[in-house]
Structure 1
């Protein structure tokens, strides 16, 4: 590893069926203003030409390492990157997203100046919002505050748009749980935050999150992976994450409630009410039964309003969310 005056930063991208976007992704990594990089591209058994494209770029730039492996899922691909990384710090980029040129420079400045185990940015560009924030801020979160913000979520979920100390990840053996069907990023960041000395936080947009990838797992309705998978992930977190703080427990309960809402939306969006009749009824029952506690708890007013709407008609609200999602994608 390099000295902390010029630390080596590992950028890890796990690729699966993203040949349409991976060139823009890799080009954005190579265009970083911070040059002391190790770029790990994991071809996670991709059936398209993603691996070939990665090999081409590796032949042009010695900072790139390519790993070809059988499909293990996003978490498994990222674990491969962690295991072979030699950087002082590591950041993850989804293969269909891309970075602004100053992303690494900005995130590195956050984590080093605050002497933190991890750093996050509250904001990111999206394919429908490319306007930069007007005023830049830097602050520090405690583990309690970070976990609360992740669960509500007031910050974009996922392991991306964040940077981690490699020494910290190794010290606490923090890895992704490959068995999780979805939400592996939420599990990773909440567990990391729970162990961190502190979390450096900025608000500058330097990461571009793609909303219009028709092949993305979060774009298409999928009851098994997205709906049931999200509930399984929350159950896993509930069993394994230490949450001694009342505010974190409240945020966790809200997120679990929201996952039931998400699961119902997957069923409605995929028109599989008959196939998942028992789960459909369970979601409606859970949402209505727990909506009053959400309404009476110390959550933001907008969340209280959503709870009222769900209590009135969970299915109607699910259809409204589906329509809003399609509108955003069309934009």
Structure 2
């Protein structure tokens, strides 16, 4: 098996890392899946990454049908609306790699096109958007981790992806513990992404505040209880995946970036998912319940729900 064509669905902070890494690879076709006005904008302006503009091909889902590898790099809230496009792209031999946050995007995609197409994966990249496009630091980016969910772990498609990424600048590794790796990244997101978003400060807050550390630890205890109940042993990967990419203390992770931009976040797939699983398993989730509702309230604030003028009807304090 050899990968000769790659389609990226979602050319944002995560998709930019793949586009950056594969754009100089001469023996493949690289395209971004888009339609309508967005497709025209990508054709005209390209993708601005680390101060350089890249011009991958732009394909409709029908034009991308039967591509060898489809990389899905969407925000969680966009996945359901993209399932029809994913189905159109997927051919008999298409391999799908989801680099989305959370722990259930593979399952959602697999229900639509069949799990046999899905190669579980995750990405660790501290990417952010500036006026001139997306930026990340290639040397310190941990990159893409992928693997088969069961033996044989050195499958033809794992070897093909390793060959694709070799000599591209993309950092990558395959693993026999991909589900544990995905849960370890999920833990990083829940424990580091969310408290910072509520506080509105850089990630140095976890180092400099015992109170922020206590909140992060509380979220982690609840997540670990759910993982244990589901038979996920994260200790198998803690030595290799217990951290994210190196960032300065001022760094703002994706949830805070979303709030800064006035956008809705991916809280439903972080604490929202944990609260649902906790209820199913009978595990109390007070830290995650508070975090979920607090970030939902911050989204409402961004939506203007609390823009009071002082002329509203009086309300009773409680």
TM-score by length of 1: 0.35
Q: Which has the higher contact order (CA 8 A, sep 6+)?
A: 1
TM-score by length of 2: 0.36
